Structure 1
Amino acid sequence: MALGRTRGTHARRPERGRLLPLLIAAVVVLALVVVAGLALRGGDDESASGCDGGPLTVAASPEIAPTVEQVLDGLAEDEDAGGCTDFTVRAVSSAQAATEISDGRAPDVWIPDSSTWVDKVEVGDGSGGWTEGPSIARSPIVLAVGGDAADDASLTSWSSRLTNDDDLRMANPDSDTASRLAYHASRIGEPERLGLQTGGRLIFLSRFAAPSVNALLDSYAQEPAEADPFPASEQRIFAFAEEHGDTEPLHAVMPETGTLALDYPWISSPDLTGERRDAAEQARTAFGSTQTRDLLTEAGFRSSDGRGGPEIAEQEPAALDELEPLTRQERLAAVEQWDILRTDIRMLALIDVSGSMEWDSPTPGMARWEVTQGALLQGIGILPAGSQVGGWAFSSDIGGEGQDWQELAPVRRLDESVGSGTQRDRLERLVSDGGELIEGDTGLYDSVWAAYQEMQDSYDEDYVNSIVVFTDGENDDPNGGLSLNQLLDRIDEGYDPERPVRIITIGMGEADASALQQISDESGGTSYIAETPDDIERVFVEALLARTG
């Protein structure tokens, strides 16, 4: 029996208005099937590398950033790598990155050229959890030497080079890590207090510091024969040779007694959690592979343990004897010391010329005035030209009846023209002839108060404003004058935190150590007792050059 179609029940073509919804539904179903299948298979490369919250950001020191990016790109392309492998690398100086972190603009991963830059991170009451991470590469700090000097160049230690040799340039340790670590190395095992020679040398270096090692390298490229040696990382010297093949090569001179090294720590943000924290740790381990170590070596770095090293100027890399680094507190103190040394001072020297300054000092054959005079002349000679310095002498009635102080020279810049010479010349002549003023008693307290008022009235916010008192005795004013308590009360009442004037006292002979200490303490200054020329030199540098208080 033949089967026929019953009218009204046979299949019909859908109406045109219903076609589009059916097509859309089919596409959606197909898409869901495809996505589900990809999920079961682990997805394609792009899906596997996706990170919740977007790519992880990496701030890396510029010289290592290209290699870091190459390694992380390789990780993203690795089919066996699971989880988040999406990274964005940005080349940024370590100093700038530390500032950005402190300002709340932190990357997910930070690779500074030295772990010492963590010292500059200030989040909340401290570093906010940013701490030194494991090193991924190393590069020792060496002396970059070119020209004829390279033939027989040698370097005993950073301490000897920074404090004794004239042919040296540095970059600013506040922004350049090579000079920063060279300066750190020079302070290892050294007392906190500087001698006159060291203080004067560091002041000179700070005044002529370049903004960066790049500026020093550029200067060398332009005039190799005229360039002084300077601290640089071994890797930067290697990279310079690769970029400037037609320039006379720089040599990398390793200090005989050891050096410090850039250590390129991998530091993950303390705010990373979950998948992103795991991804950062997975990426870090990639830098331990043989392939990555080869890439770093090709770029001029040493391995994280200091081995290897590039060939520079046809010389094999020297063995690295790495010094024990300064502690964090020692590093902070060293940088602060440099910053203070490069800050010009505005100082009034208040010099005792009472009769007892002619008495013998503890140094045979030298009067107290001769010891003080020698230290003053040396100090005036090494202070930078931009400093403002003046001098007063004090003894009873030296300025007229009832006035125990006399202005010898007002406070001026040392390079300012005065008569036929400069302010520095005038001060040197006054100190040389100062013995002619010696007589009378020690009108100390009235003189200190008058000097304090003068420096407050003429305060200059662009300078460190201070008074330095040299005296060999206790207050002895036949006219009466202020008592110690009255002087302290006046300093306390006159103190202005917006216009601080520190009083630094240097006593010798029969000086009243307790009274001098109280005077300095009341103003936020410091006090010293000096008995020998060596003592005077030491405390003079601490008082005038370091400007501590």
Structure 2
Amino acid sequence: MGRHSLPDDYATDGSGDRPPRRRRTVAIATMLVLAVAAGTAVAAQGGLLSFSKSCEDTAVHLSMMTSPDIAPAVRAVADKARKDNLRSDGHCVDVDVVARDSYKVADALARGTRAPDYQMWLPDSDLWLNRAKGLGDAIPITPGDSVASSPVTLAMVPSAAKSLGWPEKKYSWAELTAAAMESDKVRLGSADPARSATGLLALTSIGISSDKLGGDSDTRAAATAKLLAQRMSDGDTQVVETLPQDGSGAEQGNPARNQAVLLSEQAAFAHNAESTDGSKLDLFYPKDGAPLLDYPFTLVNEDEQTTDESRAALRFMTLLSEDASQRTLQEHGFRTVDGTADETLVASAGGKSPQPYATSPGAAPSDETLQETLGMWTITVQSARLTTVVDASGSMATIVPGRNQSRMDVTKASLIQALNQFTPNDEIGLWEFATTLDGDKDYRRLVETSRLGDAAKGGGTHRDRLAAAFASLKPVPDGATGLYDTALAAYKEAQRTYVKGKFNAVVILTDGSNQDDRSISRSALIAELKKITDPDRPVPLLGIAVGPDADREEVNEIAKVTGGGGYQVSDPAEIQAVILQAVMTAGQSGGGAGE
């Protein structure tokens, strides 16, 4: 956004009247006619009209999708701006604020199936920006400045907080969730981390904190995810509704009610503002740092906006950072962008010394860490059944730039690393493919799809057998890429062996386009996949194009008809993260899991 100059400061006409909205134009015009007929002096004295410079004729009308928690505050700022005739380059600025869950907006932008009817977006976290960028077909977005913040905390009803020593006792994230899990007085709930930045940031912080404790941190993190999944809500609004609605013992004893939830400070502030003393929340602030929701102002499809629209949007962004707007945001329970703690706000939200509510926020987790957490969440909450299909054509012997390893070597190492993210209940199998690999067939099954925790013939587990099979993969000299026949055969087999209640999918890794002239054509393959896809037995195909020679568009075109998608990695070392991302994305969209 550095290429823009800022619009002029806003000016008022001194009338104090709220400028009319576009949808009221006809009504206003009618009033003008009536006023002229009856005498304009009477109309003016009655305050029906303002004879200052009209805003309606020159106003720039904008729409803004806003995270529901901050929507009331932003709407108050927009209403005051409209009343004060906020101006950009001489035009009045009229902003319509619409509350919509951040994950819904992100997913719609990522799909890019239709042009949005809004110019601005204010999600609750910048983690949604990466999801909104999608797989290359997304609506373009231009991130701007953050406008507010709110730390992620663990909120508890007073009886539960007291049982864990609130406010004197301080915990790390790992210690706090462990104490809550072990207590028979604390039922812990969360919003779905795939739909809630609060839930995802908290779960990621728990994982990072567990790593610092050493030992079997992955098992502890997975156990926490399993527990949260049992009391999971769709979103932040819904998780607040799982708390007792009054201070009665009967409500708090209701097993359907949570006594503790992962929640932002602002959400606790809003809850406490409407609650009686007995149902107000107390907040634990982990001593290893509370991650922040950071509310990044974002322009949407900026290239399609007029100059007046983009400059008016920027003017509104600067307005949100001005003192009066920041006071409005604070009155609604938000901190400043840098996370500075206001003691009055913190007390209203349920914070109290010596809880470390003023501690600097924990370092923001990397995109890779967030993606791994999402993948872990998906495969922990719902067991996966994956058929992994690996390209064994001769081109997989190509050395990866900057490494003394072939594409196959790096691919194998990444697959073995990815295997560690799956639980004993997950089912994974392995195929390899290259032209005429097995007689006239381009594919060969190496390991059947079974539970990783099952015992394998000859000793060890299925996981051990699969890891050994990954390690044994080798490129076939002079072998070409027999992609189309392999994709169809693997898909049919996954459908035939479909298991209800699991995330069923086929994961194909290839470094090239189809090279088998004897195979089914791409159009025929797509037509056949469309024909046999069964919504009651969904099996998304997840295609991963490996290396610069691979064609993501080809695998995406094939995969999307099954409810899956195509992905590109320039370095095979990225495969592990992409597999988890692909599983999470397909799982989030509802593919792969039958009832």
Whether TM-score is above 0.5 comes out as yes
Query: Within 5 A, what are the aligned runs for 1:343-354?
Result: 343-346=382-385
Is contact 2:380–2:423 with CA below 8 Å preserved after alignment?
Answer: no
1:94 and 2:102 correspond: yes
Deviation at 1:61, TM superposition (A): 1.0
Change (3 A) 1:465 1:202: farther
- Matched pairs, number: 397
Report the equivalent of 2:380.
Answer: 341
Change (3 A) 1:346 1:272: closer
Deviation at 1:429, TM superposition (A): 13
Task: Tell me the secondary structure at the aligned position of residue 86 of structure 1.
Answer: strand
Report the equivalent of 1:282.
Answer: 315
| Amino acid aligned to 2:63 | T
Report the equivalent of 2:504.
Answer: 463
Deviation at 1:231, TM superposition (A): 1.2
Is contact 1:137–1:263 with CA below 8 Å preserved after alignment?
Answer: yes
Task: Tell me the secondary structure at the aligned position of residue 198 of structure 2.
Answer: helix
1:122 and 2:133 correspond: yes
Distance in 1 of aligned mates of 2:329 and 2:459:
61
Deviation at 1:195, TM superposition (A): 5.3
Please say which of residues 318-327 and 136-145 is displaced more in the overlay.
Answer: 318-327
Is contact 1:345–1:465 with CA below 8 Å preserved after alignment?
Answer: no
Task: Tell me the secondary structure at the aligned position of residue 339 of structure 1.
Answer: helix
| Match among 236, 239, 242 for residue 219 of structure 1 | 242
1:204 and 2:212 correspond: no
Is contact 1:286–1:292 with CA below 8 Å preserved after alignment?
Answer: yes
Change (3 A) 1:337 1:389: closer
Is contact 2:64–2:98 with CA below 8 Å preserved after alignment?
Answer: yes
Give the CA RMSD over aligned residues: 5.8
Report the equivalent of 2:81.
Answer: 75
Task: Tell me the secondary structure at the aligned position of residue 280 of structure 2.
Answer: coil
| Match among 179, 185, 202 for residue 199 of structure 2 | 179
Distance in 2 of aligned mates of 1:305 and 1:234:
15
Query: Within 5 A, what are the aligned runs for 1:488-507?
Result: none
1:170 and 2:190 correspond: yes
Task: Tell me the secondary structure at the aligned position of residue 146 of structure 2.
Answer: coil
| Amino acid aligned to 2:81 | L
Deviation at 1:183, TM superposition (A): 2.2
Identity percentage of aligned residues: 21
**If the length of structure 1 is used for normalisation, what is the TM-score?**
0.56
Report the equivalent of 1:310.
Answer: 346
| Amino acid aligned to 1:315 | K
Deviation at 1:547, TM superposition (A): 9.1
Deviation at 1:411, TM superposition (A): 8.8
Distance in 1 of aligned mates of 2:67 and 2:328:
16
Report the equivalent of 1:262.
Answer: 293
Report the equivalent of 1:291.
Answer: 324
Distance in 2 of aligned mates of 1:185 and 1:179:
10
Change (3 A) 1:107 1:458: same
Distance in 2 of aligned mates of 1:124 and 1:133:
22
Distance in 2 of aligned mates of 1:128 and 1:166:
42
| Amino acid aligned to 1:224 | Q
Distance in 2 of aligned mates of 1:431 and 1:455:
27
Task: Tell me the secondary structure at the aligned position of residue 179 of structure 1.
Answer: helix
| Amino acid aligned to 2:316 | A
Deviation readout 1:507-533 (Å, 9 max, x if unpaired): xxxxxxxxxxxxxxxxxxxxxxxxxxx
Report the equivalent of 1:332.
Answer: 371
Distance in 2 of aligned mates of 1:260 and 1:173:
14
| Amino acid aligned to 1:158 | W
Runs of 5+ consecutive residues of structure 2 not aligned to the other structure: 1-32, 41-48, 183-187, 246-250, 388-419, 430-447, 462-468, 474-488, 508-518, 530-538, 543-578, 585-595
Query: Within 5 A, what are the aligned runs for 1:353-392?
Result: 383=424
Is contact 1:112–1:264 with CA below 8 Å preserved after alignment?
Answer: yes
Distance in 2 of aligned mates of 1:323 and 1:262:
12
Is contact 1:259–1:323 with CA below 8 Å preserved after alignment?
Answer: yes
Is contact 2:160–2:259 with CA below 8 Å preserved after alignment?
Answer: no
Task: Tell me the secondary structure at the aligned position of residue 142 of structure 1.
Answer: strand
1:141 and 2:182 correspond: no
Deviation at 1:67, TM superposition (A): 1.3
Distance in 1 of aligned mates of 2:85 and 2:158:
51
Report the equivalent of 1:235.
Answer: 266
Task: Tell me the secondary structure at the aligned position of residue 91 of structure 2.
Answer: coil
| Amino acid aligned to 2:226 | F
Q: Larger radius of gyration, structure 1 or 2?
A: 1
**If the length of structure 2 is used for normalisation, what is the TM-score?**
0.52
| Amino acid aligned to 1:264 | Y
Deviation at 1:130, TM superposition (A): 1.4
Report the equivalent of 1:40.
Answer: none
Deviation at 1:77, TM superposition (A): 1.7
Query: Within 5 A, what are the aligned runs for 1:385-404?
Result: none
| Amino acid aligned to 1:291 | A
Deviation readout 1:125-158 (Å, 9 max, x if unpaired): 2655414321111100001122423121455333
Runs of 5+ consecutive residues of structure 1 not aligned to the other structure: 1-26, 35-42, 349-378, 391-409, 415-423, 435-441, 446-453, 467-491, 503-542
Distance in 1 of aligned mates of 2:76 and 2:424:
50
Change (3 A) 1:92 1:155: farther
| Amino acid aligned to 2:148 | A
Change (3 A) 1:327 1:51: farther
Report the equivalent of 1:57.
Answer: 63
Deviation at 1:112, TM superposition (A): 0.7
Deviation readout 1:455-491 (Å, 9 max, x if unpaired): 988634552579xxxxxxxxxxxxxxxxxxxxxxxxx
Change (3 A) 1:457 1:128: closer
Query: Within 5 A, what are the aligned runs for 1:369-448?
Result: 383=424
Task: Tell me the secondary structure at the aligned position of residue 192 of structure 2.
Answer: coil
Deviation at 1:96, TM superposition (A): 1.4
Change (3 A) 1:292 1:220: same
Change (3 A) 1:457 1:83: closer
Task: Tell me the secondary structure at the aligned position of residue 166 of structure 1.
Answer: helix
